[in-house]
Amino acid sequence: MDVASAGKSASWRELSWYENIPLVSYVFLRGRCRTCHAVIPLDYFIVELVVPALFLGFTFYHLNLPALNPWHFFRDIFFGIILIIIFVYDLKYMTILSGVVWAGAVGGFIINYFFLHQSLLSLLIGAAVGGGFFLAQFLVSKGRWIGGGDVRMGVMMGLFLGFPTILVALFVAYIAGSAVAIPLLFLRKKTGQSAIPFGTFLAVGTFVALLWGDQIVGWYSGLIGA
């Protein structure tokens, strides 16, 4: 439905079919509502562009694996959807949706343990490390450094990735967060007290670890001779 504001009052209009075509409609309407001519946020177009590109990337990634496991493919698609929702929502509203996180945590555990037969100990340690890492920060700072959403997301990340791959996700998330935050501080766009959407960076770290975490762990283990 579309809300068209005509000065004094607002009217509702059902969107036409050609106004609901991903990407095409945004271009056709030139980024503005056809009724009230209000600007349609560009992030709608970006999300509609990035999401199918990511899913195509997942498809090519799995097709190039030595063996195609349907449950492995389904797991990555499911995880990808959860991470995209968290990434976008936290970036826009500085909130990590609890319902999405718990749905991801439960779904991730079920798929990983019952269908992909991953180690229960690895998943539980991963959840403990991810959740415990953020819980410790939450308690020490009394909620000033991070929020409860980060704690819950740490648990979900552990159930997605297991141990030690969760460490890769945390490392990448903090590197990515620093790469963005430090220039903003230097340019005085942010201060040391400014909040940043850290769930967005955690989603990026989880995504990287999901695809390449095992290789990174293997490379690092070989590097230190473990």
The predicted structure's pLDDT at residue 146: 85
Q: Is the CA virtual torsion 4, 5, 6, 10 positive or negative?
A: positive
Both 82 and 134 in a single domain?
Answer: yes
Count structural domains, the chain: 2
pTM (2 d.p.): 0.85
Helix or strand (DSSP H, E) at 55: helix 42-63
How much is the pLDDT for 187? 73
Tokens of 146: 């991070």
Are residues 89 and 134 part of one domain?
yes
Q: Quick one: 27 and 102 in the same domain?
A: no
Residues 133 and 35 in one domain: no
Same domain, 20 and 132: no
| Residues 3, 47 share a domain | no
What lies within 8 Å, CB to CB, of 175 at 6+ separation is none
The rounded distance, in Å, linking the Cα atoms of 76 and 211 is 9
Position 212 scores a pLDDT of 92
Do residue 110 and residue 177 come from a single domain? yes
Q: Do residue 56 and residue 34 come from a single domain?
A: no
DSSP tally for the chain: helices H, then strands E: 8, 2
**What's the average pLDDT block by block, 10 residues per block, for the chain (226 residues)?**
44 74 85 82 88 89 89 93 94 93 96 96 97 94 87 96 97 92 76 76 95 91 78
Placement of tokens 């562009």 in the chain: 49
**Beta-sheet pairing, 10-13 with 2-5:** antiparallel
**Around Cβ 66, how many Cβ atoms within 10 Å?**
4
- In this structure, the answer to whether residues 26 and 115 fall within a common structural domain is no
Per the structure, the complete domain to which residue 9 belongs is given by 1-40
* Same-domain check for residues 14 and 48: no
pLDDT number for residue 9: 44
